[in-house]
Amino acid sequence: MPQAYCVKCRSKVEIKNPQRVTLKNKRPATSGTCPRCGTKVFSIGKA
């Protein structure tokens, strides 16, 4: 499972409902939600 840093929880969490996205500069990224608080989380790079 991909991980990202949640700013609200102040810890690394596994991304809930991860979706692969491509940034404007063609870099891969993953976005989703935090399983604890429901805040959006984002991770740049392959996961």
Domain ranges for the chain: 3-44
Q: Give the mean model confidence (pLDDT) for residues 22-26.
A: 96
pLDDT reported for residue 47:
59
Long-range contacts at 11-16 (CB < 8 A, ≥ 24 apart): 13/41, 15/41, 15/43, 15/47
Token pair of 34 as six digits: 């935090």
Q: What share of the chain in percent tops pLDDT 70?
A: 98
Q: pTM, whole model, 2 decimals?
A: 0.86
Structure tokens given for 10: 């102040």
| Cα gap 8→2, rounded to integer Å | 18
Confidence bin at 1 (pLDDT 50/70/90): confident
